Copies of this chain bind each other. A is one copy, B any other.
Amino acid sequence: MAHSKQDILRAINYYNEKYQDLYQEFLAFLKIPSVSTSEANKGDIQAAANFLVGKLEKIGFKNVMKYPTSHHPIIYGEYIADPQKPTVLVYGHYDVQPPDPIDEWETPPFEPSLRGDYLYARGSSDMKGQIWAVISALQSILDTRKPESNIKVLFEGEEEIGSPSLEKFLKNHKSLLDSDLVVNPDAGMIAPDKPSITYSLRGLAYFELRFYGPKADLHSGLFGGVVANPANKLAEVVAGMHDEDGKVTLPGFYDNVRKLSQKERKALSRLDLDENHYKSMTGAPKLSGEKGFTPIERAGARPTLDINGLYAGYINEGAKTIIPAYAVAKISTRLVPDQDPKAVYEGMKAYLKENTPETVRWELDYMSGAPAYINEGDTPGLDLFISALEETWGIEPLMKREGGSIPVATSMKNILGVDSIITGFGLPDDQIHSPNERVHLPTHRKGVEALIRFFMSF
């Protein structure tokens, strides 16, 4: 506990006094269309990077660097209070999603517009808004009392294009990035009154499976009943990948699945994401999934298998009476700790060897794989982060698992050996990746307070 309560309150007061200035700078940051997917915005990405470099230097960060990559620069900066003291590394990305479909924006995506408690702009939530919360907190601390521990920041400009340069950068800068924990505010909260920390993310193993039958499409009248139809056989074999209880039947699939403890199940049930929540969010007529688990458990803590794409034969308008020569399924499994994507690949191969009839020939491509991520709870600073959220919101934060992947958390763990606190102050209806992205400013401001509390207690 590095700082006194008075020090922390002084920094929070500073933030409230300087809020208007910081807000104006935030608007300037949002006006830069740093769309990483678009070649035309390459200069804007540089402008956004320069903006951050300038700001970091202005608030007192040292060794601020803009590292070139094959696409868009990675920004690094640090405040080293004492090399013997613990270090927190903050991750962020300053690139944004394309604004398409642009016609559906009520105000232009790069002209921030304040309406009520919301500020509308591309990146306002994902995640220039989160970066700005971090910078606001750091300025408030550095301008009132020097931190006693070390803070490093790493902001990339390629997250929305899959972070193609990040792993290499981590590998090449291990000692520069040496730290005790990572704070990654690229995830959100469930509601304005529900601060949360994501402690687990699912992994992935993605396959393309192809069944080949006759050498060419056949007339289904002349040959129906004589040769196997690869589309029917694919349907049969893929159907067999789940049993009646919604469990995946690939050999060994559940062998290394970490069981949910009663304590964890109870904690997840606090999230209050019930059947109705998911139904209204997805429009599905009825929920579905592995028997014996709640929706939130199934989405975050249990592995799944889904067809992502399916193709065979004639799919245009009208009728064509053929037996297709081949059929294709793109199939992905979402993995949980401690499943190994390569072992899942082996299980998939074993299942296909066992279950594919000899009447077709099969090919399986392993397209990508990443293990799940879990923060074991022994991360230094995790308790401090929880306390910071609790003090700010007045309630115990929710600990949640998320079904998607944040590959950067896995990379940080694997390459730097550091766990991540995955958090953030965006809300589910911020419309990230969609038109009219927005940030809820009262929540954003609470987030800055919580970050001040955390950085000053670390």
Contacts and interface: CB of A to CB of B under 8 A. Distances in A.
Contacts of A218: 282, 433-434
B219 A320 contact: no
A334 interface: yes
A232 B435 CA distance: 21
Contact of A278 (B220, B227, B357): B227
Q: How large is the interface on A (under 10, 10 to 19, 20 to 34, 35 or more residues)?
A: 35 or more
A37 B315 contact: no
Interface string A276-292: 00100011111111100
A306 B320 contact: no
A319 B162 contact: yes
A234 interface: yes
Given A206-B319, A234-B235, A287-B227, A312 B312 contact: no
Q: How many copies of the chain does the oligomer comprise?
A: 2
Contact of A98 (B304, B313, B320, B361): B320
Interface string A207-242: 010000111111111111111110110111011101
A41 interface: no
A246 to B, nearest CB: 8
A331 to B, nearest CB: 9
Contacts of A308: 220, 231, 313-314, 319-324
A225 B403 contact: yes
A298 B226 contact: yes
Contacts of A213: 282, 284-285
B334 A330 contact: no
A204 B321 contact: yes
A35 to B, nearest CB: 11
B311 A228 contact: no
Interface string A426-445: 00100111111000000000
Nearest to A289: B225
Contacts of A312: 307, 309-310
Given A217-B434, A286-B228, A321 B332 contact: yes
